[in-house]
Amino acid sequence: MASPIADLSYRNYDGPLDPPALRWWVIARAMMNLNLKRRVLWLFVALSGWYYVGMIFVLFIFDQFAASTPAFPGAPNPAKEFFGRIIWKDQFLHGFSYGQMLFMAILLTIGAGSIANDNRANALLVYLSKPISKLDYVMGKWFGVFLPLLLISSVPALVFYLYGALSYSSYGFISSDPWLLVKVMIALPITAAIQASVIVGVSSLFSQGRLAGAAYAGVYFVSNFFTQLMKGTWFGLSHGGGGVPMAKSAVANLFYASFDGINIGIFKAILGTDGSMPFGIPGNAPAVPRPPLLPMLLIGAAISAVCLVVAWSRVRAVEVVG
Amino acid sequence: MNVARISNLTVRYGNFTALKDFSCDIPEGCTGLLGPNGAGKTTLIKTLLGFVTPASGRGDLLGLDIAKDGKRIRQTVGLMPEQDCHIPGMTAVGFVALAGELAGMPQAQALRRAHEVLEYCGLGEARYRNVETYSTGMKQRIKLAQALVHGPKLLLLDEPTNGLDPAGREEMLELVRSVSHGKGVNVLVSSHLLPDIERVCDRVIVVMAGQLRAEGLIKDLKRITGQPIDVELRESNSGFVQALSGMGVNIAPPKLTTYRILAPGTPDEIIKLVMTAARQSNAQVRGFSIAQRSLEEAFLDVLTANQ
Amino acid sequence: MIELTNASRWYGQVIGLNDVTCTIGPGVTALLGMNGAGKSTMMRMITGQIRPTTGDVKVFGHQPFANPEVYKHLGYCPEIDNFYEHRSGRQFVHYLAKLSGFSESEAKSKTQGVLERVGMAQRADAKIAGYSKGMRQRIKLAQAMIHEPDIILLDEPLNGLDPVGRREFINLLATLADEGKTILVSSHILFEVEQMTRSILLLHRGRLLATGNLTALRDLIDKHPHRIRIESSQPRDVATRLVGLPYVLNVQIDPRGDGLEIQTREPGQFYDQLPGLVLDHNLAVSGFSSPDNNLESIFRYLVEA
């Protein structure tokens, strides 16, 4: 008969212990739980899909106009014109590119401290004393940035797609490019993967989330400035008429030499579009042509690989010498 | 039954050889790991955990090969590191539960067990607070908790009383002692504080310059041949010394007011001699016990003997 | 030497020291207390880093706060571990020697001397970033000693040292004390403090709880009568005899059957009567000792009260 007074002293754990696989998921999950609690993240998330929200609103308005009968037959219908010139795939491009700043903020919020905070708290000593490998750790951190980023960038796009497919198939939403959804769902993970790799690599170089974030933001803005210069140069070259075509295309490709640029460049290349005016505003947008796909993918892959190798080499528990 | 068996282990960091042809057996129970700084204790611990690949030799920990089964070893071993470490941004419960999950426990079990272990380590309501707000003593307990959460068969403790005040040290040593005696958890404690090791462990292993210098039960290491006796007086008294020498007792010069004497016979008999001498010389005897070397003295003897 | 008179210090609402009055003279004095008792505050006051909010602190009759004259006589070996990591130990100590006002050649020779004294002469040329804890402690002590101050304050100096290093450090402090210096050591490792000195200063929650000599203090702790453990093969016989003595308050038989423990407020009387009991009444005693006559027990009794 068991004793009525329980023995609450230490007892050993004899329960189930999973074999050491999928530990990276544990790390990723813990990271995501921690990040989900940060309110500023939700603010950024809410704002990041602003183009899609705006566009849905614009489309809805024009749809109403288009449905109403004209004042007199033969009169021009601006709504119909609007739907005539709108390039559907560009809407996804704009949704993606106009959210870049916010995606950057989100990336910093969830990723800048990912390894940096662990460096400061010496958490690696705890992690590495458990049955996980360095690969689990780096993969877990990477995934903890990649998955939220992917979800945050995909959900508005998918909602928009659904809205468009249901309401505007008569305007050629689906027929203009039947593979559009597939292309978007390929481009988003690729860009999210590159961004996740970069921030994880940068985070591993520092012992403070803030410094890592500042470093990333610094490179981001400096490279953006550079690419704006390139854009200006490109305009100059294209309006000047002459100019060496090779220089022009080189400059055009350099436009994509920034964090945003890589994202947008890959997105454009996969979607197969050069860009146009946002919100269906009439006019010919001076859009820098899209870069070639394969080189962009290779560059993106190379950058990711370098960052991940940096993270890998920086991950080690504290050593005491002597 | 040995917890670990190490044979001819050599570990190198670049040019520096940390462990040279090291062989020892770590028995069940609670063992202390002693050695001067730089002797190779930390290297030994890291090698046991499978962090470091040895240049040669082999080792067996709980039936697992340290060179190949690193991950499985870390599933049955818990490490309480010396340095401050925690996972940022979490409460104590969250941290310990995560440690359990990382060790392979299913999520629900990990949380339940985290509470159990934190209770055992003496953290009450404080477990719901962020670990970053903790005092040194509490941080040490968390480290112990995360090492115990997955029910390890071997617990490796590196300076467990680091930074603790006297009350905290008491409690930590109590915790370690109670987990190691009677609960089936083997413990290896590495520390410079020898009285702590004396308190908690039954055996020690002494490492010096990458090699095993001594090992054995603490009782045996502390024993002095011939069974001398320490007699403590209230104040030094030469009459007492004379009286005892007169009885044929070998008496050494005092340390403060304690005299070490050597005489034939059992303590019961010797005490009569001491009391007679005390009466004769009007000395007040305040202590009479079988002399033992402290573990510290034994350790220093081992070190100097081998230099 | 060092005098505190009603010194208090608080940080906002948090009390650091509360109305402490004491004098610290030559020799080794141990500063003890739980974490947060005010030991660091007191050290910082003495080394002139902070001023008492009320009350007075005087070192050699002068206020130490921002007073370079006093600093000349003070050496401080703090607990924290911040160095110029890219410099070598020798360069660091040399630099601090120059800061103390020595000329280049004097600083050089003094640095060598002090490094030898702390046992770092061989290893002082490597960068500090690669030093172990023990080596850092020695460098800290070296810089505290280099200007030959009359007062040296050490905060947890033995942290990280191995037993050999500990022994050397303790011996070094004893030598310095013999030279007439005032040494104040703050430590949690009570069994080591016991080896260094018998005179203690115990702080508790900012207040001075006890000062003076260990044995004197033990006698004053009324609440906990002295415990004396007696080894005997016939504990119950011995117990029967002893319980009849008027000053024996308590007799407890060890469940292992190899001895007993008595409690008394008059240990002296017991020790005086013991020869008679053993010789004349044939009391079967094979050993005795007092388990709580050490610093750890005294500390525990004082602090829990």
* Residue-by-residue DSSP string for C220-239: H-TTSPEEEEEE-S-HHHHH
Of C132, C231, C267, the CB nearest to B38: C132
**Mean predicted confidence (pLDDT) in A221-237:** 83
What is the model's pLDDT at position C118? 87
| More confident call, B223 vs B203 | B203
Q: Distance (Å) from the C-alpha of residue B276 to the closest C-alpha of chain C?
A: 7
What is the token pair recorded at C115? 């490094």
Using a CB cutoff of 8 Å and minimum separation of 24, what contacts does A58-66 make? A58/A279, A58/A280, A59/A163, A59/A164, A59/A167, A59/A168, A62/A280, A63/A167, A63/A168
Helices (H), C16-122: 39-46, 68-71, 89-99, 104-118
C291 touches chain A (CB under 8 A): no
What is the token pair recorded at C218? 């033990």
* Residue-by-residue DSSP string for A139-152: HHHHHHHHHHHHHH
- Are C152 and C75 spatial neighbours (Cβ–Cβ below 8 Å)? yes
Cα–Cα dist C88/C123, whole Å: 9
Interchain CB distance below 8 Å, B102 and A26:
yes
Model confidence at A320: pLDDT above 60: no
Query: Counting every residue, how long is chain C?
Result: 305
Torsion sign (Cα): C128, C134, C136, C142: negative
Give percent of chain B above pLDDT 90.
Answer: 23
Cα–Cα dist C138/C143, whole Å: 9
Cα–Cα dist C132/C126, whole Å: 11
Interchain CB distance below 8 Å, C286 and B266:
yes
**Mean predicted confidence (pLDDT) in B119-136:** 89
Cα–Cα dist A13/A18, whole Å: 13
Q: pLDDT tens-digit profile of A72-126?
A: 666 666 777 777 777 888 888 888 888 888 899 999 999 998 899 888 888 888 8
Q: Please identify among residues 183-202 of chain C the ones whose CB lies closer than 8 Å to any CB of chain B.
A: 188-191
Interchain CB distance below 8 Å, B89 and A125:
no
Q: Which residues of B touch C195 (CB under 8 A)?
A: none
What is the model's pLDDT at position B201? 92
Please give the interface size between A and C, counted as residue pairs whose CB atoms are below 8 Å apart. Answer: 8
Instruction: Give the confidence band of A318 by pLDDT, cuts at 50, 70, 90.
Output: low
pTM for this model (two decimals):
0.84
Interchain CB distance below 8 Å, C163 and B192:
yes
Residue of B nearest to C278 (CA): B272
Query: Counting every residue, how long is chain B?
Result: 307
C284 touches chain B (CB under 8 A): yes
Amino acid letter, A319: E
Cα–Cα dist B201/B55, whole Å: 31
Of B37, B266, B284, the CB nearest to C134: B37
Q: Is the ipTM of this complex over 0.85?
A: no
Torsion sign (Cα): A186, A188, A191, A193: negative
For chain C, helix (H) and strand (E) counts, in that order, are 11, 13
Cβ neighbours around C62 below 10 Å, total: 13
Cα–Cα dist C36/C27, whole Å: 25
| Nearest by Cα to A319 from A125, A41, A169, A157 | A125
Interchain CB distance below 8 Å, B276 and C191:
no
Cβ neighbours around C223 below 10 Å, total: 8
Model confidence at A137: pLDDT above 70: yes
Residues 6+ apart with CB under 8 A from A71: none
Using CA atoms of C129, C134, C140, C142 in order, give the dihedral in degrees to the nearest 10: -110
Interchain CB distance below 8 Å, A321 and C135:
no
Q: Which residues of C touch A322 (CB under 8 A)?
A: 130-132, 135
**Mean predicted confidence (pLDDT) in A118-144:** 88
**Mean predicted confidence (pLDDT) in B241-264:** 85
Helices (H), chain A: 23-36, 39-48, 50-67, 78-85, 88-97, 100-111, 116-121, 124-128, 134-167, 180-204, 209-239, 245-254, 259-271, 293-314
Q: Distance (Å) from the C-alpha of residue A8 to the closest C-alpha of chain C?
A: 24
A317 touches chain B (CB under 8 A): yes
Q: Distance (Å) from the C-alpha of residue A184 to the closest C-alpha of chain C?
A: 51
Q: How far is CA B302 from CA B6, B38, B190, B305, C147, in A?
A: 21, 16, 17, 5, 37
Interchain CB distance below 8 Å, A117 and B98:
no
What is the model's pLDDT at position B157? 93
Which residue ranges in chain C fall short of pLDDT 70? 305
What is the model's pLDDT at position A121? 86
Cα–Cα dist A102/A228, whole Å: 18
Q: pLDDT tens-digit profile of C234-260?
A: 899 999 999 999 999 999 999 988 899
Of B84, B109, B179, the CB nearest to A15: B109
Helix axes A100-111, A39-48, angle to 10 degrees: 160
Residues 6+ apart with CB under 8 A from B51: A128, A317, B70
Q: Distance (Å) from the C-alpha of residue B229 to the closest C-alpha of chain C?
A: 9
For residue B240, the surrounding DSSP H or E stretch is helix B238-246
Instruction: Please tell me what DSSP assigns to residue C62.
Output: B
Instruction: Give the confidence band of A322 by pLDDT, cuts at 50, 70, 90.
Output: very low
Cα–Cα dist A217/C223, whole Å: 65
Of B34, B166, B192, the CB nearest to C296: B166
A306 touches chain B (CB under 8 A): no
Q: Which residues of A touch C135 (CB under 8 A)?
A: 322
Residues 6+ apart with CB under 8 A from B92: B118, B123, B126, B127, B128, B129, B131, B134, B138, B142, B145
Sheet-wide strand order for C27-32: C74-77, C151-155, C182-186, C27-32, C199-204, C207-213
A320 touches chain C (CB under 8 A): yes
* Residue-by-residue DSSP string for B247-288: TT-EEPPPBTTEEEEE-SS-HHHHHHHHHHHHHHHTPPEEEE
Model confidence at A240: pLDDT above 70: no
Please give the interface size between A and B, counted as residue pairs whose CB atoms are below 8 Å apart. Answer: 118
A322 touches chain C (CB under 8 A): yes
The HSE-up count of residue A186 (CA atoms within 13 Å, CB side) is 12
Cα–Cα dist A199/A143, whole Å: 12
Cβ neighbours around C300 below 10 Å, total: 16
Q: Please, which chains are in contact with C (at least 3 CB pairs closer than 8 A)?
A: A, B
Of C132, C272, C285, the CB nearest to B284: C272
Model confidence at A321: pLDDT above 50: no
Residue of C nearest to A322 (CA): C132
Interchain CB distance below 8 Å, B178 and A17:
no
Amino acid letter, A66: A
Cα–Cα dist B41/B50, whole Å: 14
C166 touches chain B (CB under 8 A): yes
Q: Distance (Å) from the C-alpha of residue C228 to the closest C-alpha of chain B?
A: 9
- Are A106 and A42 spatial neighbours (Cβ–Cβ below 8 Å)? no
C132 touches chain A (CB under 8 A): yes
Residue of B nearest to A27 (CA): B102
Comparing A171-180, B215-224, B268-277, C166-175, the range with the smallest average pLDDT is A171-180
For residue B302, the surrounding DSSP H or E stretch is helix B295-305
Residue whose pair of structure tokens reads 């018998």 in the numeric block? C198
Q: Which residues of B touch A121 (CB under 8 A)?
A: 85-88, 132
Burial class (CB in 10 A: 0-12, 13-18, 19+), B300: middle
Interchain CB distance below 8 Å, B51 and A317:
yes
Interchain CB distance below 8 Å, A127 and B102:
yes
Q: How far is CA C57 from CA B41, C1, C40, in A?
A: 45, 11, 15
Q: Please, which chains are in contact with B (at least 3 CB pairs closer than 8 A)?
A: A, C
Instruction: Give the confidence band of B149 by pLDDT, cuts at 50, 70, 90.
Output: very high
